[in-house]
Amino acid sequence: MLIHKIQDSLTIKIFFVTAFILMVACLATYQFLMWATPISYDNIVGEIEYERALRLAEELSNATITESWGIVDRFILENGAEIVILDDLGNEVDIRSGSLALHAQGDVYVTVTDVAAETDANATWPNSSLDVGVSTQFFFTDSDEIYHLVVMSTFAPINHTAEAMRGVLPLLIALILLISFFGALFYSRYITRPIVRLSELSQKMIGLDFSCYYDEARTDEIGILGRNLDELSDNLSHTLEQLQSANAKLQKDIDSERELKRQRTEFFTSVSHELKTPLTILLGQITGMLDGVGVFQDREKYLPRTLAVVKRMEKLVEELLVISKMDKSDDIEKNECISLSELVEKQIEYILDLVVLKSQILETDIAPDIQIYGDKGLLQRAIFNLLSNATNHSPIAAKISVYLEGKKLVITNTGIHIPQDDLPHIFAPLYRVDTSRNSKTGGSGMGLYLAKMVFDKHGATCSITNTTDGVEAVVEFQ
pLDDT exceeds cutoff 60 at 118: no
Cβ atoms of residues 478 and 461 within 8 Å: no
Nearest to 407 by CA among 370, 434, 373, 432: 370
Nearest to 252 by CA among 240, 242, 264, 244: 244
Distance from C-alpha of 474 to C-alpha of 476, rounded to nearest angstrom:
7
Rounded average pLDDT over 420-427: 87
Output the pTM of the full model: 0.45
On whether residue 99 sits in a domain, the answer given is yes
Distance from C-alpha of 258 to C-alpha of 252, rounded to nearest angstrom:
10
H or E segment at 82?
Answer: strand 82-86
Percent of the chain having pLDDT more than 70? 77
Cβ atoms of residues 456 and 403 within 8 Å: no
CA atoms within a 13 Å half-sphere pointing along the CA-CB vector of 401: 15
Nearest to 465 by CA among 424, 408, 407: 424
**Among the residues of 292-365, which ranges form H helices?**
299-328, 340-350, 352-357
Cβ atoms of residues 155 and 129 within 8 Å: yes
pLDDT value for 117 = 37
Write the DSSP symbol of residue 15. H
Confidence of residue 438 (pLDDT cuts 50, 70, 90): very low
Q: What residues have CB less than 8 Å from 71, skipping those under 6 apart? A: 56, 59, 60, 63
In this structure, of 10-24, 143-157, 321-335, 411-425, the range with the lowest mean pLDDT score is: 321-335
Boundary of a domain, candidates 154, 174, 194: 174
On whether residue 294 sits in a domain, the answer given is no
Query: What CATH number did the domain enclosing 371 receive?
Result: 3.30.565.10
pLDDT value for 402 = 95
Residue range(s) defining the domain that contains residue 83 = 2-174
Q: Which of 41-45, 193-197, 380-384, 429-433 has the highest mean pLDDT?
A: 380-384
pLDDT value for 371 = 92
On whether residue 11 sits in a domain, the answer given is yes
pLDDT exceeds cutoff 70 at 97: no
In this structure, of 74-78, 150-154, 345-349, the range with the lowest mean pLDDT score is: 150-154
- Please state, as a whole number, how many other Cβ atoms lie within 10 Å of the Cβ of residue 441: 14
Boundary of a domain, candidates 126, 152, 174: 174
* 35 compared with 397, residue with greater pLDDT: 397
Rounded average pLDDT over 155-164: 58
**Residues 134-152 pLDDT 10s:** 788 877 777 778 888 888 8
pLDDT value for 107 = 31
pLDDT value for 160 = 55
On whether residue 135 sits in a domain, the answer given is yes
Distance from C-alpha of 398 to C-alpha of 359, rounded to nearest angstrom:
8
pLDDT value for 232 = 83
On whether residue 295 sits in a domain, the answer given is no
pLDDT exceeds cutoff 70 at 50: yes
pLDDT value for 11 = 66
Rounded average pLDDT over 39-51: 74
H or E segment at 283?
Answer: helix 221-291
Specify the long-range contacts of residues 284-291, CB closer than 8 Å, at least 24 apart.
285/309
pLDDT value for 364 = 94
**DSSP-derived 3-state class of residue 440:** coil
Confidence of residue 129 (pLDDT cuts 50, 70, 90): low
Cβ atoms of residues 302 and 296 within 8 Å: yes
Percent of the chain having pLDDT more than 90? 14
Burial class (CB in 10 A: 0-12, 13-18, 19+), 400: buried
Rounded average pLDDT over 61-79: 80
**Residues 243-289 pLDDT 10s:** 888 998 999 889 888 877 776 776 677 667 667 767 777 788 788 88
Q: Which residues pair with 405 in a beta bridge?
A: 408
pLDDT exceeds cutoff 90 at 470: yes
On whether residue 88 sits in a domain, the answer given is yes
Nearest to 392 by CA among 410, 416, 428, 364: 416
pLDDT value for 68 = 79
On whether residue 81 sits in a domain, the answer given is yes
On whether residue 302 sits in a domain, the answer given is no
The total domain count for the chain is 2
pLDDT exceeds cutoff 70 at 423: yes
Nearest to 434 by CA among 393, 399, 473: 393
Dump the DSSP string for 87-145. -TTS-B--TTS--SPP---SS---EEEEEEEEE-TT--TTT--EEEEEEEEEE-TT--S
**Residues 183-234 pLDDT 10s:** 777 777 777 777 777 777 888 878 777 777 777 776 777 777 777 878 888 8
* 19 compared with 246, residue with greater pLDDT: 246
pLDDT value for 122 = 37
Distance from C-alpha of 105 to C-alpha of 474, rounded to nearest angstrom:
140
Boundary of a domain, candidates 153, 174, 195: 174
pLDDT exceeds cutoff 50 at 102: no
